[in-house]
Amino acid sequence: MPNSSRPMPRAFYLLLGVQFLSTLADNAFLIVAIARVMELAEADWRIPMLKIGFTVFYVVLAPFVGPASDAFRKGRVMVLSNAFKVIAMLLLLQGVDPLLAIAVAGWGAALYAPAKYGLMTELLPPAALVRANGFFEGATVCAVILGTVLGGLLISPLLLTWQPAEGSAYAGGMWVLLLLNSIAMVVCLWIPDSGARYDAHSIHPRTLVLRFWRENLVLWRDKVGGMSMAVTTLLWGVGATLQLVVLRWAHEAFGLPLDQAAYLQGVTALGVVVGAMAASRFVVLERAVHLLPLGLLLGVVIPMMLWVQSIYAAAVLMIVVGAMAGFFVVPMNALLQHRGYTLLTAGRSIAVQGFNENAGMLVMLMVYAGVTALNLPLHTLIWGFGVMVVVGMALVCGLYRGQWWPLRVA
């Protein structure tokens, strides 16, 4: 039966707005940073290193950001995280290495994740989480679409500066991103306190790391929690790398420059919006596990990219891939959030989730950087992604349906 249409609290929509602005700027930032790397005539493997630089702090800071999110008002944590992104844009405007600038933004994003998702979990009852995740994913992916389009616009001839500031022709676009991040930071000041409070714990680094390790085991050993985290970790890792593969595919298959290739990347996100909205309307939390076979089908569809002959067919295929991913990942994400909140706390469970998903992304991006340095053909990469999704999902489905989870304890 469809989810309840009961109105969400006003604070949720304010959180949704901040998420939109922040994600919009993050995705445009990646395109601008890639263009800056190309402007500096650096090696191709430096491009996936940008994503690695943004992602690494999600993994390194994971034991600390959850407790920090639970120790303070989450709106204030979000102000601080967006301040890091403002600093990152100022550094880029000063001509520093784009890898350093995007790493600073990644530090802020790592703080931001448990605060925003933790606040959503605190504000809403479990029955509303799939619907809320649908809204959240829809807004996020709309921001991804517009962010990639905005990034393409910011590096297009339309906005190139005639007299480059600080050695870059993309200074005008950098100022636009600085403005967006500044607005997001200010809006966070109006996010209300949910009223949720948690017991105080030691903040000694060793204590936090050991506790974080135990929290990881709690979630992985839970059958539902472990299954949903395995699925989201696999798909986030593949999805993050596929984002770069699509840019390369658009260039090699259709001869599109970076600013136009970014638009094709945005079309994929449009499909995710459709899938996410459908999931929020028709999937209830209790039936999320019934979607597992859809992950297998997603892996089968990915290699179809190799048979596409026109840009219009490519756009349609990317919409289909995005819709399947959105319809599948949103309920899995909601299931993981609910199970994590039940077993741990809002901030800590999101930190554990973020650690595992971003560790998966980091591994995949490092592999992609390595094979790019080795000049591995594009068709081999695409087949590899498809096979990885099929094999990974088949393993997860087999273990879960067989009523045996390998890390489960009595």
Q: Does residue 127 contact residue 4 with C-beta atoms inside 8 Å?
A: yes
214-233 burial by CB neighbour count: b if 16+ within 10 A, else e? ebbebbbebebbbbbbbbbb
What is d(CA 360, CA 330) in angstroms, rounded to the nearest whole number? 18
Residue 268 CB neighbours (<10 A)? 26
Class for the domain spanning 10-192+203-401: mainly alpha
Q: Specify which residues 168 forms β-bridges with.
A: 165
Answer for the pair 323, 212: CB distance below 8 angstroms, yes or no.
no
Q: Do the beta carbons of residue 195 and residue 61 sit within 8 Å?
A: no
Structure tokens at 61: 């800071």
Cα 228 to Cα 13, 30, 279, 405, distances in angstroms? 26, 28, 16, 12
Q: What is the four-CA torsion angle of 87, 92, 97, 103, rounded to 10 degrees?
A: 40
Across 7-11, 35-39, 283-287, which has the greatest mean pLDDT? 35-39
For the cut 50, the answer to whether the pLDDT of residue 33 exceeds it is yes
Q: Quick one: pLDDT at residue 410? A: 35
190 or 265, which is more confident: 190
What are the residues whose beta carbons fall under 8 Å from the beta carbon of 404, sequence distance 6 or more?
none
Least trusted range by pLDDT, from 186-190, 345-349, 366-370: 345-349
Structure tokens at 89: 């844009």
Model pLDDT, residue 353: 82
Which phi and psi angles does 168 have, rounded to 5°?
Answer: -125, 140
228, 245, 265, 300 from 294: Cα distances, Å: 14, 22, 22, 10
- The pLDDT assigned to 409 comes to 40
Q: How far apart are CA 74 and CA 337, in angstroms?
A: 17
Give per-residue pLDDT as tens, 185-232: 998 888 877 655 555 666 677 888 888 888 888 888 888 888 888 888
Structural contact between residues 356 and 156, judged by C-beta atoms closer than 8 angstroms: no
User: What pLDDT, on a 0 to 100 scale, did the predictor assign at position 100?
Assistant: 92
Cβ neighbours of residue 149 under 8 Å, at least 6 residues apart?
A: 262, 263, 266
Rounded Cα distance, 190 and 160, in Å: 35
**pTM assigned to the model:** 0.71
Label residue 245 exposed, middle or buried (CB < 10 Å: 0-12, 13-18, 19+).
buried
3-20 pLDDT tens trace: 445 666 777 888 888 889
Q: Taking phi first (over 0 means left), then psi (-120 to 50 degrees means alpha), and beta for anything else, what does residue 95 get?
A: left
Res 195: pLDDT:
58
Residue for token pair 């638009």:
263
pLDDT > 90: percent of the chain: 9
- CA angle, 404 then 408 then 410, to 5°: 105
Which CA distances in Å does 374 have to 11, 21, 369, 408? Answer: 49, 37, 9, 40
Neighbour-count burial for 283-299, b at 16+ CB within 10 Å, e otherwise: bebeebbebbebbbebb
Evaluate whether 311 touches 264 at the Cβ level (below 8 Å): yes
Of the ranges 115-124, 158-167, 355-364, 392-401, which is most confident? 355-364
Tens digit of pLDDT for each residue in 377-389?
888 888 888 888 8
